[in-house]
Chains A and B, each alone.
Chain A
Amino acid sequence: MKLSDKAEEILEALWIAVEEKKLAALDPQDFTIPLEDPAYVELTGRALVEIRQGLVYFRPEGKVEGRTTIRRHRLAERLMMDVLNIRGEAGDYKACEFEHLLHEGVDTKVCTMLNHPTTCPHGKPIPPGDCCDQARAEGDLGVVPLTEFKSGQEGEIAYILTEDNKKMQKLMAMGVLPGNRIVLLQAFPSYIFRVGYSEFAIDSNLAKEIFVRK
């Protein structure tokens, strides 16, 4: 069964204390959720943590759960910033609520969509999931900007990411449309690519806004 939101928060705090601050345990007095909270009972009842002399310790199963919980939290932060463009405190706050939805494969989908990020917006590492390890093993680059292609490499256009409407129209007029095949012919001094039967040259500012998948 799914843990309560509060229980997940506690697991996260404990994971950060143990894995990142290298402490032995979490002291609930330094934390926003006091020891009297029923969430602690929920966790001990599931044998994820144990409480000795007022301090919270991981049990082995709890550590695994904590890792995936922190992973969901940081993925949610990335999602807020990269895709929904919500930044700062508002983004942190929304991420806290959003993370609890990333269960049962949703986290894998979000992770793949974000192309398996390794750090959260605050620069802390996101523990890799199975999908990340699999992508690494297969050498699957996922969706990357055209600037990451090597010359001669061919791929499919995934989307164009630009806030400038004019740029978007210029690119579409060249035939840079989602689903079209694209071949990068040269990367220096300018990017040259072929779409259909036409060749175009663009600078790196435009090239980094075309996202392609192999």
Chain B
Amino acid sequence: MTGEYILSRRALAMLLLQQDEEIVSIVRHQEGDGYAALAEVARDISFKRRGSFHLNLSLERNEIAKELVLGVFTAPEKRVVTWAERLSNWSVRPLTGIPMLLIVLYFGLYKFVGEFGAGTVVDLLEKQFFVEIVNPWVTGLVKNLIPWEILQELIVGEYGIITLGIRYAVGIILPIVATFFIFFSFLEDTGYFPRLALLVDRVFKYFGMSGRAVIPMVLGFGCDTMATMVTRTLETVRERVIATVLLALAIPCSAQLGVIIALLSKSPGALAVWGVCLLLIFMVVGLLAARLLPGEAPMFYMELPPMRLPQFTNVLTKTYTRMQWYFMEIMPLFVVASILLWLGKVTGFFEKAVVAMTPVMNSIGLPKEAAVAFIFGFFRRDYGAAGLYDLQTKGLMDARQLTVAAVTLTLFIPCVAQFLVMKKERGWKVAGGIGLFVSLLAFGSGYVLNNFLLMTGILA
């Protein structure tokens, strides 16, 4: 070998013999003409040892590992069953595991993220800090400094960068996402996820995914964009595509969840209808995808690390890095969205778009003003949901319309960031296809739900 490599020659040789695709392509590239001779030798050795090459390799690794721990590691005479092991046992048996999951979801998601994050902290930051202190102060400042009304609008107007973009990102999204990430990092460090994965594996197989996919699905309730990225931990392309579709379609992210729950909780029953709709669509689309998509069936294997009490600093560090990523990614988008919304308003594009979308809105039983929410929704789904919130405050929509709008919006196109990640992970074709499918299904479901609600009179 003549090329330059980071790995040692021996490691390289072992990987070549194992036909590691990445290494083979690197070596082929580095060696140029010399590769043919090298491949010949590798083939020869592989053939000579064909009977048990991988087995011998594993056995030898095993031996080396045994020698390493010899003398520094002694096993207790009898296995000690610790409290953590007992907890672990409960978490993997359906009879105790499912109640445990519900407890985790209730306290973690509902109480901590929902009530504390989206309730208490948002109240504090958004209502008391931004609306009462920051916004009036900045508005005053800008109005004094900048004489042109159009620019004032850009910074502190209805869709202003500060009054809408920053307020939204910091006041509403930050606390919700931060509490979610704390919850998620905590669970991650306890070792609960692999146990949850094996618990749901059988059910997830019906949807064409292995239990492993439960991790991106749970993460999706925090941020669908990040979850779409995490789908790359799944084994097969088929599984990744199914997970991506379901994330884009039926898993609302935390920001969206917060706003929608606030929106619908005022009319009893609406939240239930919304939840049942999403669950139904998740299951139907999952079942169909598992039937229709070609490719190999998923296989499930996972190491179960011992259950541990998470270290406080580790949880904080993880939460911090996730928040950092989120903010780097999201903050500019909020500003850009604000600018685009401002442009739309100034140029009158919105009015035209609203007119163009009116027939669609009418067909699913919504007032034409709801179109704005959907246009917002393309930038960020929670933006759209917030738009609905405004409509509700103005008394333009009743419970039925709100529910239809919330379902349609939840299903509708994921935010721009998620779409871009989908494109990056799955390529233009698949991402475009998913986008189109999701939009059609969203409005289709809205139409069906609206007629169903009108006919049965539920929520009337």
Contacts and interface: CB of A to CB of B under 8 A. Distances in A.
Interface string A148-174: 000000000000000001011111111
By secondary structure, the A interface counts as mixed
Interface stretch (B194-202, B219-227, B411-419): B194-202
Given A192-B198, A201-B197, A201-B198, A177 B300 contact: no
Interface string B106-132: 000000000000000000000000000
Interface string B176-220: 000000000000000000110111111001000011000000000
B300 A202 contact: yes
Contacts of B58: 172-173, 177
Contacts of A174: 301, 303
Interface string A170-211: 111111011000000010111010000111111101100000
From B58, B62, B93, B201, residue with most partner A Cβ within 10 Å: B58
Question: Chain A interface: which size bin?
Answer: 20 to 34
Contacts of A189: 94, 198-202
A168 B194 contact: no
B62 A206 contact: no
B303 A190 contact: no
B54 interface: yes
Contacts of B75: 197
Given A192-B198, A200-B303, A177 B55 contact: yes
A167 B236 CA distance: 13
A138 B301 CA distance: 34
B43 to A, nearest CB: 16
A203 B93 contact: no
Contacts of A200: 301-304
B59 interface: yes
Interface in A80-126: none
A52 to B, nearest CB: 55
A187 B210 CA distance: 17
Nearest to B211: A190
Interface in B286-312: 297, 299-304, 306
B295 to A, nearest CB: 14
B94 A201 contact: no
B301 A202 contact: yes
A173 to B, nearest CB: 7
Contact of A178 (B55, B301, B306): B55
25 contacts: A167-B299, A168-B54, A171-B301, A172-B54, A174-B301, A174-B303, A178-B55, A189-B94, A189-B198, A189-B199, A189-B202, A190-B198, A190-B300, A192-B304, A198-B304, A199-B304, A200-B304, A201-B197, A201-B198, A202-B302, A203-B202, A203-B211, A203-B299, A203-B301, A206-B299
Interface of B: 54-55, 58-59, 62, 75, 92-94, 194-195, 197-202, 205, 210-211, 297, 299-304, 306
